[in-house]
Amino acid sequence: MDKILEVTDLITRFHTFDGVVHALSGVSFHLYRGETLGVVGESGSGKSVTMMSLLHLLAAPPARIEGGRALYFGDNGPLDLLGLDTAGISRIRGGRMGFIFQDALSALNPVMTVGRQISETLVEHLGMTTARAWNRSVQLLDYVGIPEPGKRAAAYPHQFSGGMRQRAMIALAIACQPRVIIADEPTTALDVTVQAQIIDLVLRLKSEMNMSVIWITHDLGVVAGIADRVMVMYAGTVVETAPVDDLFYRPAHPYTIKLLGALPKIGQAGNYRLESIDGTPPDLLEKPSHCQFVWRCDHAGDRCWQDIPQNREISPGHQAACFFPFTDKGVR
């Protein structure tokens, strides 16, 4: 399969008054054309920071991208996103890669009509006239399932319901038919039925417009339902990447195993305690010098305290960053 995106050893740090926060310490992953990549991990594991680093969306200072490469394979050959200047990255943002943010209420400008916020992108990237862009915005709102789109385009974000706002946010992200959609927890703030509608919508758009999707979430249930492959992040590193079935049925990294173990189980009697992972994630102010999961791991050996484990192949397409991964043959 063709790759659309290939990120290697991405290092992002935040230079704060308290010291240097090692937000990403060498993140590598790739995205194939037409696939959905689920990115899971707890808060602070670097899911959003990774994606925002690619598009230079982090506030600098304090954020600084200090290493790595992010190749985007467009029509004109590979392009290193991290090396682009402001004008270059502006063409990618919205034009080639669309971002769907979590909380559409705060992510949309409160004093600009939804239609204008969508047409703004169209004018910027496709050079449409304002009038044409407006008509196209109305079509887009219709396309993402907003009733009376002509009327709704002239409304302000606060006049929309939560689900409708997220639909508008999606219309905005897909307006210029980007190749990649990055959805940063787009359903977290929504109730379950609306969540299902939004997921269906994104998947429908993805296949109709032939896009690749990166779906950031901490809901493993959502990932199981939509992703082709899953990438698990922990403390600024990718600890495991696998096709979705492998990840759920044959997890290799102790963190993934514990994460899956913490899911509520169907069929278990009503009154039981949910399992949790003991301990807390490491303090990112310290520069990692060994496995970042070692404090919370039941299987850590001496080596885990000395070296940083690199991602290695467990089976085709399945990688884990662990010295002692679980495999079909037991612990190696």
- Between 172 and 211, CB nearer to another protein: 172
- Residue 116: CB minimum distance to another protein, A: 9
Residue type for position 101: F
What CA–CA distance (Å, rounded) separates 94 from 73? 16
- Between 129 and 315, CB nearer to another protein: 129
- Residue 106: CB minimum distance to another protein, A: 4
Q: 185 is written with which tokens?
A: 């927890």
- Between 111 and 269, CB nearer to another protein: 111
What CA–CA distance (Å, rounded) separates 6 from 80? 9
Q: Among residues 174, 106, 194, 118, which one has the least CA distance to residue 150?
A: 118
**If DSSP codes are grouped into helix, strand and coil, which group holds residue 233?**
strand
- Between 91 and 299, CB nearer to another protein: 91
What CA–CA distance (Å, rounded) separates 33 from 95? 16
- Residue 306: CB minimum distance to another protein, A: 40
- Between 101 and 326, CB nearer to another protein: 101
- Between 107 and 308, CB nearer to another protein: 107
Handedness of CA 239, 244, 248, 252 (dihedral sign): negative
- Residue 93: CB minimum distance to another protein, A: 4
By the 10 Å C-beta count (0-12 exposed, 13-18 middle, 19+ buried), 149 is classed as buried
What CA–CA distance (Å, rounded) separates 235 from 43? 9
- Residue 143: CB minimum distance to another protein, A: 17
Residue type for position 300: A
- Between 124 and 142, CB nearer to another protein: 124
- Residue 157: CB minimum distance to another protein, A: 9
Give residue for tokens 């049925």.
249
Alpha helices in the chain (DSSP H): 47-54, 86-92, 104-107, 114-126, 130-143, 149-153, 162-174, 192-209, 220-226, 244-249, 254-261
- Between 175 and 223, CB nearer to another protein: 175
- Residue 177: CB minimum distance to another protein, A: 13
Q: Are the C-beta atoms of residues 108 and 157 closer than 8 Å to each other?
A: yes
Q: Please state whether the peptide bond connecting residue 186 to the residue before it is cis, i.e. omega within 30 degrees of 0.
A: no
The residues that touch another protein, with contacts defined as CB under 8 A, are 55, 57, 59, 86, 90-95, 98-99, 101, 103, 106-112, 120-121, 124-125, 156, 158, 172
What CA–CA distance (Å, rounded) separates 285 from 181? 31
- Residue 65: CB minimum distance to another protein, A: 16
